[in-house]
Amino acid sequence: MLFVRILQVTFGGIAVLWTLYVVAMPLVARLRRPPPSRSASALPSFAVIVPAHDMEDHVGGCIAALKASNYPADRISIFVVADHCRDRTAARAREAGAEVLERSEAPAGKTYALAWTFELLRRKGLAHDYFVVTDGTARVDRGFLAAMARLCQAGETIVVGHSVRATDATQWFAKCLGLTLVHRNLQNWARERLGLSSLIEGRGMAYSRSYIEKHGWNLAVPTQAAAGQHPTEDWRHGVRVVEHGYRVAYADEARVYTPLRDTLGDATRQGIRWERGRQLNAITHGLQLLKTAFRTRNRITFFAALDAIQLPVAVLGALCVAVAVLTWAWPGEPWLNALGFAPVILMACYGLLVTMRGRADGIPASTVLFAPFYLLWRLASFVLAWVPAGRR
């Protein structure tokens, strides 16, 4: 019985702390007045960078969506980076009206393709005010660039947009992943309202010319010690920009639609890569940033570090359920029972809030019925991320 009580207190305490962190941020942000509008500069010019690997069936639609933006056409240049392509991606991009940069240098991959592109553009001379990165499979909303421009005009260095599940991604796991995007957007909205740094979302983001001139894409590229081990640059980049004194702003109205993965197998493999990247980032960068935050007493650094090391929401949800079941099976003192049931109640309320907000992004409320399957699926990805690729 003592062992059970130790488990209840230990895991119940962890669940309470992280649940309060997730739930309290939007509540505190809602109680705070919106920040005052800031003075605007001239309308910025955008260079839109689209890294694409064998995307001949998608890149034309991506470019068409960008060209349909309600933003002055003379303020937009579109560059498609055909990275190690074996199909007609480059030809399709040219036909759609984009300038194509073909890359065959190793290593392949989005992170290295962007590093190569920014170095190439820097050598040619950066002529644009901001550089927007989006995926070849993504479709920006007509108002995406205008919404990004408003924060750029206010002087923000890095801006991320509002990622939305594409409406034709109707599989149950795609809808659940869409709710995960809703959760991240809600958390980013709260951080923007509170003046904190948002999570970087790679499907739609903008960087100022001064940032690119100084750093290029170097802060996203894995360090030599971690080369080949960090499969996700977004988590790492979000931490490292804060390390260097930047804040990531969030444009809630800058919507970009993404199809996610087509099959459960592909989505599972991607989820394992995401979780592995998250875990490695927490170990190699998150903990170090937390030490820096305590030393400097900087609140932006502190909360960015917590974001880097926090439990994935699916793992946290599973932990809350496990603690509640443990408390139900072995009830104890009133305070212990409260410790056991409070996290799952808070997460359930937060889940309903995310589900309600998800309707605005085209995700039906019935998606919440798949929550148990989603928690088990994502928990499996979290565990498999610790297993070497050759042993899976």
Q: Which of 330, 328, 339 lies closest to 10 in space, CA to CA? A: 339
Mean pLDDT of all residues in the chain?
91
Instruction: Label residue 329 by pLDDT band (50, 70, 90).
Output: very high
Which DSSP category does 88 fall into? S
Mean predicted confidence (pLDDT) in 359-363: 93
Kindly provide the b/e burial profile for residues 343-377, where b requires at least 16 CB atoms within 10 angstroms of the residue's own CB: bbebbbebbebbbebbeebebeeebbeebeebbeb
State the first-to-last Cα distance of the chain, in angstroms, to the nearest integer. Answer: 36
Task: Determine the 3-state secondary structure of 362 from DSSP.
Answer: coil
CA distances from 318 to 11, 255, 324, 337, 387 (A): 11, 30, 10, 18, 20
What is the identity of the amino acid at 243?
E
Interval 41-68: pLDDT, tens: 789 999 999 999 999 999 999 999 999 9
Structure confidence at residue 33 (pLDDT): 82
- Per DSSP, what are the bridge partners of residue 258? 165
Structure confidence at residue 227 (pLDDT): 47
What is the identity of the amino acid at 138?
A
Structure confidence at residue 341 (pLDDT): 96
SS (H, E, C) 94-120: HHHCCEEEEECCCCCCHHHHHHHHHHH
Mean predicted confidence (pLDDT) in 185-206: 94
CA-based torsion, 40, 41, 47, 49: positive or negative: negative
Q: How many CA atoms lie within 13 A of 381 on its CB side?
A: 25
**Is the per-residue pLDDT at 228 higher than 80?**
no
Interval 9-29: pLDDT, tens: 999 999 999 999 999 999 999
CA distance 289 to 309: 10
Architecture, CATH, for domain 46-285: Alpha-Beta Complex (3.90)
If phi over 0 gives left and psi between -120 and 50 gives alpha, with beta otherwise, what is residue 195? left
**Is the per-residue pLDDT at 231 higher than 70?**
no
CA distance 273 to 259: 18
Structure confidence at residue 222 (pLDDT): 80
> DSSP string covering 39-84, please?
---SPPPEEEEEEESS-TTTHHHHHHHHHTSSS-GGGEEEEEEEES
Tokens representing residue 176 in the block: 């659940």
| pTM across the whole model | 0.92
The domain limits of the chain are 7-30+309-391, 46-285
What percent of the chain has a predicted confidence (pLDDT) above 90?
Answer: 73
Distant-in-sequence, close-in-space partners of 20: CB < 8 Å, separation ≥ 6: 346
Tokens representing residue 33 in the block: 């007045």
**Is the per-residue pLDDT at 108 higher than 60?**
yes
What is the identity of the amino acid at 303?
F
Structure confidence at residue 39 (pLDDT): 67
**Is the per-residue pLDDT at 234 higher than 70?**
yes
What percent of the chain has a predicted confidence (pLDDT) above 70?
Answer: 96
Interval 160-176: pLDDT, tens: 999 999 988 889 999 99
